[in-house]
């Protein structure tokens, strides 16, 4: 637990962080095991359903849209009725059922599986993220780094998943490989349900110890200088600022989540290596794990000098890096004459750049919602983050033009969209910072 109730000791990360780290790691293992194979499974004429690329991409985009839309509903239900812990548990049960249904090759079972996974993700995803934020007292300086550490857990699972999927798919086929996703989800539930004591919120622990947030404020005789600056901003302004950030997030995820469709197809058909495109889904989490702690160290050093940029500025740089990443893919496509095979170094380099951009945007965005959203609306606003992600995911359907446009044109359009969004953010940076001070 954080040791700053009376402001006299050094704050440290609560043990619940590592419980939620492991819970999310195994849930993401299941999630990305399935997602790494999904588009190629739909397209495969032998083991899969033999769908055309446009049809496969269309279902992929609709599926991931609903995956990230249902957390809005799941967040509200958790806020008002079930609570965060019960919602996470219920979500895990639905996810497990969905992955098991995918072990059967049948179109009706396919759609039933997707419905279960969508419902499960709606309960699981926003509430495990909200639980993480609630482990820390208001104004905690460790919340950003806590979300970064949590994000490593996501990507450890995401790194293991395509490797397991590739091995199992080669030896046993797609359907047995989907079973590994269900096993990962079962492990996630076991970790979560057996460590309930460590995932209590900071307020719960403070109340148990006889120290409420109100007591803490009165005891220290807080005035306006003591209250986190964000708490002095009217709720309406904070919510409006978050909605603007959500617009930026829409564009980012539209571009980023090409990794499960067009970039996987590119890796399968246009990359000169001896493995399938499934394995390309391990590149991004590899870079996230590799880059996270150096980046956290870098931010810490800047913070010591009082020069660490705010979250909004980090998101701006994240969008610039996203643009650069897809410009690299534009150059890769040009070098291969659009449809030829090129060195995997192009893809690996592009993923390195967008992974750095992701680190400046995704965990920072989750932390921003946790800090800026009014406390009584935190589950709802976390759901709003995932709703924005859902809209961006549906817009990944731009991948239907993959076989209509040249590959270089496709990548260039996405690069320019990211660049335009970065400049939009730059233009409104000043009022955003006023609405979100201290974050």
Structural domains for the chain: 16-199+227-435 (1.20.1250.20)
- Using DSSP, state whether 104 is helix, strand or coil: coil
Rounded CA gap, 366 and 31, in Å?
Answer: 19
Whether this model's pTM surpasses 0.75: yes
Q: Measured between alpha carbons, how far is 150 from 138 in angstroms, rounded to an integer?
A: 18
Q: How far apart are CA 157 and CA 22, in angstroms?
A: 9
Quote the CA–CA distance of 155 and 41 in Å, as a whole number.
23
Interval 298-348: pLDDT, tens: 988 998 999 999 889 999 999 999 999 999 999 999 999 998 999 999 999
pLDDT in tens, 215-230: 455 444 434 456 778 8
Task: Tell me what pLDDT residue 216 has.
Answer: 52
Determine the Cα–Cα distance for residues 324 and 326; give it in Å rounded to an integer.
Answer: 6
The parts of the chain modelled with pLDDT lower than 70 are 1-11, 203-226
> Long-range contact list for 419-426, CB < 8 A, 24+ apart?
419/319, 419/320, 419/323, 421/248, 421/251, 421/252, 421/319, 422/316, 422/319, 422/320, 422/323, 424/248, 425/248, 425/312, 425/315, 425/316, 425/319, 426/316
* pLDDT for the residue 220: 47
pLDDT over 70 for what percent of the chain?
92
The rounded distance, in Å, linking the Cα atoms of 316 and 81 is: 36
Q: What share of the chain is helix, strand, coil (3-state, %, to 5)?
A: 80, 0, 20
pLDDT score, position 222: 38
Distance in angstroms (rounded) separating the CA atoms of residues 92 and 82? 14
pLDDT of residue 219: 43
> What letters, b where the CB count within 10 A reaches 16 and e where it falls short, cover 356-379?
bbbbbbbbbbbbbbbbbbeeebbb
Q: Do residues 252 and 322 make contact, with C-beta atoms less than 8 angstroms apart? A: yes
Q: SS3 of 165, please? A: helix
């Amino acid at each position: 637990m954080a040791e700053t109730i009376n402001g006299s000791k050094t704050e440290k990360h609560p043990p619940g962080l590592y419980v939620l780290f492991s819970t999310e790691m195994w849930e993401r293992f299941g999630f990305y095991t399935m997602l790494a194979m999904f588009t190629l499974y739909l397209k495969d004429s032998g083991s899969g359903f033999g769908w055309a690329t446009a049809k496969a991409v269309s279902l992929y985009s609709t599926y991931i849209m609903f995956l990230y839309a249902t957390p809005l509903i799941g967040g509200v239900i958790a806020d008002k009725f079930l609570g965060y812990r019960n919602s996470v548990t219920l979500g895990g049960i639905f996810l497990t059922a969905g992955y098991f249904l995918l072990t059967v090759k049948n179109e009706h079972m396919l759609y039933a599986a997707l419905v279960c996974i969508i419902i499960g993700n709606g309960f699981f995803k926003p509430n495990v993220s909200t639980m993480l934020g609630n482990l820390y007292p208001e104004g905690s300086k460790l919340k950003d780094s806590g979300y970064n550490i949590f994000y490593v857990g996501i990507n450890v699972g995401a790194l293991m998943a395509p490797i397991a999927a590739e091995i199992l798919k080669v030896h046993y086929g797609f359907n047995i490989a989907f079973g590994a996703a269900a096993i990962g989800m079962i492990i996630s539930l076991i970790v979560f349900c057996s460590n309930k004591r460590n995932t209590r919120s900071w307020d719960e622990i403070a109340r148990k110890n006889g120290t409420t947030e109100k007591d803490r404020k009165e005891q220290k005789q807080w005035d306006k200088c003591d209250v986190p600056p964000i708490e002095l901003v009217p709720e309406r302004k904070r919510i409006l600022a978050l909605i603007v950030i959500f617009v930026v997030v829409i564009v980012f995820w539209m571009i980023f989540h090409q990794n499960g469709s067009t970039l996987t197809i590119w890796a399968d058909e246009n990359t000169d290596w001896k493995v399938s495109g499934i394995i390309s889904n391990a590149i991004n989490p590899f870079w996230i794990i590799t880059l996270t702690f150096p980046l956290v160290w870098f931010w810490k050093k800047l913070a010591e000098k009082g020069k660490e940029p705010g979250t909004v500025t980090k998101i701006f740089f994240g969008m610039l890096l996203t643009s650069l990443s897809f410009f690299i893919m534009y150059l890769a496509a040009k070098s291969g004459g659009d449809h030829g095979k090129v060195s995997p170094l192009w893809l690996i380099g592009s993923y390195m750049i967008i992974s750095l951009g992701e680190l400046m945007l995704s965990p920072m965005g989750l932390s921003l919602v946790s800090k800026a959203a009014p406390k009584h609306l935190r589950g709802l606003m976390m759901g709003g983050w995932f709703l924005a992600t859902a809209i961006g995911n549906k817009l990944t359907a731009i991948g239907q033009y993959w076989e209509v446009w040249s590959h270089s044109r496709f990548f260039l359009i996405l690069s320019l969209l990211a660049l335009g969004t970065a400049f939009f953010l730059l233009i409104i940076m000043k009022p955003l910072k006023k609405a979100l001070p201290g974050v």
